[in-house]
Amino acid sequence: MRAGVNCRWMETKKAAGTFFTKQLMHWHSAHNNRSLPWKEEKEPYKIWLSEIILQQTRAAQGLPYYLRFTEAYPTVQHLAAANDEDAFRLWQGLGYYNRCKNMLATARIITGDLNGCFPVTYEGLLALKGIGPYTAAAIASFAYGLPQAVVDGNVYRVLARYFGIDTPFDTTEGKKEFATLAQQLLDVNDSAGYNQAIMDLGATVCTPALPKCSECPLQAQCTAFRQGTVQLLPVRSKKQAVRNRYFHYLLLVDGDAVWIRKRDGKDIWQNLHEPFLIEHDAPMDVKMLAKHNSFGGLGVRKEPVFEGMLKQKLTHQLIETRFFTLPVKLAVNKHLEGGNWVKFSDLKKLAFPKTIVSFLEKKLYF
């Protein structure tokens, strides 16, 4: 590219950026009426709490969880002192349970090691467990007014469409390109307002499907709108295949108690509870299940009773779950490890994955 052409291209890009920020901020002050309880919040704890809850979660879904957590734990000190089971019960149904685990750990670090105060720098926030670049930027901007641009799914979409960026946003190159551009466009005099504006525009106007281009303040210079590529942007490098898994839950029942264990390891639903699980590479009916090695190890000769089937779609997994009941005597204890007998009346005190909650509620266990 010749020097003169390059200069004109840079000037055009700069003008497009100036238009972008100016129009976005005007829209935010005059037309953005999206109301959420954390939008005007300046307290770092509540901003942090909202951002952790909203990771991989739509605002409408996250709102009731935010309200429940702020009511139960109004300060970071209250959250640090929380019983883990109680916190996981509040989180139940939100998914990505490692977020809750990290949230509790960070609350305890802030309370125990930092005198109950959040770090006041982007770098300090980034050093905390469970806080990545986006969350650190959000707290730094919304709580302290620091010039840090947030970059989330809404921001990727708005920037990709407006500037016609076809670099996959989920690659190292793409993340760097979008982060650099977002920082260049930031209104440093009102970083909180700018960040809220671009996220709200992506959530309400520049939506993934059926975007409201006629209502968009950026339409006049939007590359994707002019070129008819709105539905093609942003670009993801590749679509991850969905893994099918088949869970078979045995409710081992002795009188008014059922055997329950807590999930551990690095798999899904970590720290949540479940009945006796037999996972297989294909769905099993009653007779197939009764012949499975894990079932045989229980030392029970009767067949289980099929109670129903539910499905749950996770980000990259489809969990097909079948439930069975099996009356047993306490003698089966010698064949069981890692769990406990829990009375049905006490099941509500434990946190379960959404699928198990749906089953237990349907069967009136709690």
Strands 243-254 and 317-327 turn out to be parallel
Range of the domain at 293: 243-362
How would residue 6 be classed by pLDDT, with cut points 50, 70 and 90?
Answer: low
Give the pLDDT confidence of 22-72 residue by residue, as tens digits: 999 999 999 999 999 999 899 999 999 999 999 988 999 999 999 999 999
300 plus 208 within the same structural domain: no
10 vs 135 pLDDT, higher one:
135
CA 265 to CA 134: how far, in whole Å?
27
The pLDDT value given to residue 4:
52
Q: Compute the C-alpha angle 131/137/139, nearest 5°.
A: 75
Give the pLDDT confidence of 207-251 residue by residue, as tens digits: 999 999 999 999 999 999 999 999 999 999 987 788 999 999 999
Residue 275 is part of a domain; what is its CATH number?
Answer: 3.90.79.10
Of 186, 202, 232, which marks where a domain is finished?
232
141 plus 160 within the same structural domain: yes
49 plus 194 within the same structural domain: yes
Mean pLDDT computed over every residue of the chain: 92
The tokens for 185 are 């466009």
Of 232, 259, 283, which marks where a domain is finished?
232
Q: Is 366's pLDDT higher than 60?
A: no
How would residue 5 be classed by pLDDT, with cut points 50, 70 and 90?
Answer: very low
The pLDDT value given to residue 211:
97
What sign does the dihedral 306-312-313-316 (CA atoms) show? negative
Q: Which residues of 222-236 are buried (b: 16+ CB within 10 A; e: fewer)?
A: bbbbeeeebeebbee
173 plus 222 within the same structural domain: yes
- Domains in the chain, number: 2
Q: Measured between alpha carbons, how far is residue 82 from residues 20, 130, 138, 230, 288 in Å?
A: 44, 18, 25, 46, 43
43 plus 97 within the same structural domain: yes
Of 232, 251, 283, which marks where a domain is finished?
232
Q: Is 81's pLDDT higher than 90?
A: yes
Residue 237 lies inside a defined structural domain of this protein: no
The pLDDT value given to residue 12:
63
- Please tell me the least confidently modeled range out of 32-41, 123-132, 181-190, 335-344: 335-344
Is the model's pTM score more than 0.75?
yes
How would residue 331 be classed by pLDDT, with cut points 50, 70 and 90?
Answer: low
19 plus 42 within the same structural domain: yes
Give the pLDDT confidence of 269-328 residue by residue, as tens digits: 988 999 999 999 999 999 999 999 999 888 888 899 999 999 999 888 999 999 999 998
Residue 238 lies inside a defined structural domain of this protein: no
Give the pLDDT confidence of 164-195 residue by residue, as tens digits: 999 999 999 999 999 999 999 999 999 999 99
Annotated active-site positions, please? 51
How would residue 137 be classed by pLDDT, with cut points 50, 70 and 90?
Answer: very high
